[in-house]
Structure 1
């Protein structure tokens, strides 16, 4: 598997469209709290973007994560995914 510099995805270093595998890894990092506190909203956002790119594992993880989230948290995550797409 290719190794990506995860810290640069927000700045678009991988180009206009990042591979779904990178989004999946960002979602896992947020869900597991690899860079601080667990952030379910951020994890859901990245899983949304990975799912959009056809990553089946992201679809499953997003579904599981949704069971632990409130409707407001899910709405926030979906909004954040749309905003990320609009910005990139």
Structure 2
């Protein structure tokens, strides 16, 4: 599997609008702290977007993460995903 170098999440996401695999990898990056700080809100955001684009693995991980977030954190993750989807 090819390694994707990412300067920033937004930069990488520009080409990911229709690619669920890249969006899934964004979620994994934040969930595992790969080349960034662990951020479960951002991980949920990216898994949510990937799930919307058809990635079943992302949908499963999104559910697992949602169970660990507070109501406010979950609301923020959903809002962030909605804003991203609106912009892209």
Q: What TM-score do the two structures reach when normalised by structure 1? A: 0.84
The answer to whether the 8 A contact 2:18-2:53 is kept is no
Runs of 4+ in structure 1 displaced over 4 angstroms? 1-5
Q: What TM-score do the two structures reach when normalised by structure 2? A: 0.84
1:28 positional shift: 0.4
Q: In the alignment, does 2:9 pair up with 1:9?
A: no
Give CA deviations for 1:18-41 in whole Å, capped at 9, x if unaligned.
300001000000001112321000
The answer to whether the 8 A contact 2:29-2:36 is kept is no
Aligned length: 85
Q: Which consecutive unaligned segments of at least 5 residues does structure 2 have?
A: none
